[in-house]
Amino acid sequence: MANNKKIRDVLNDGYIEYGTNETERSAKGTRIGSAYKKFGRLAYQEMSCRDEDYKLAEAMSSSLDLKIRTLYPPNLRNVNKNKLKIVLDGTTYDAIKVDTDREKMYLYFYLQEVGERE
């Protein structure tokens, strides 16, 4: 009897750091800037981008620089994943779109580069 379930998957391209930009306010409540707040780290696998992926990014007035796959951590279940900032090798990316697979085991991040991390 053949079993088509994967026993082990390989996410060995490295680690990403993920978080959001939180608004900083003065004592009076005036916005004084924003600071990156780290949520955690995930192992990732770089994925190839299809034509449909580039068209999707273009339709969202964005550019697709990188597509990666990670495991779906429980602490991201109730988070707006499209507001996440991803840091990879010192470069910050915006998550322009985040998809999941049918079994909710993996997240697929469509990333647009926004610059170097301070």
* Tens digit of each residue's pLDDT (9 = 90 or more) over 70-94: 999 888 888 888 889 999 998 999 9
**Domain that includes residue 74, residue range:** 14-24+33-116
Number of domains in the chain: 1
Please say if the pLDDT value at position 7 is more than 60.
no
Q: Is residue 112 situated within a structural domain?
A: yes
Q: Is residue 60 situated within a structural domain?
A: yes
Q: Is residue 7 situated within a structural domain?
A: no
The span from the CA of 96 to the CA of 60, in Å, is: 8
Tokens of 73: 């951590």
User: What pLDDT sits at residue 94?
Assistant: 92
The span from the CA of 47 to the CA of 57, in Å, is: 15
Q: Is residue 62 situated within a structural domain?
A: yes
CATH number of the domain within which 80 lies: 2.40.10.270
Please say if the pLDDT value at position 56 is more than 80.
yes
Please say if the pLDDT value at position 1 is more than 70.
no
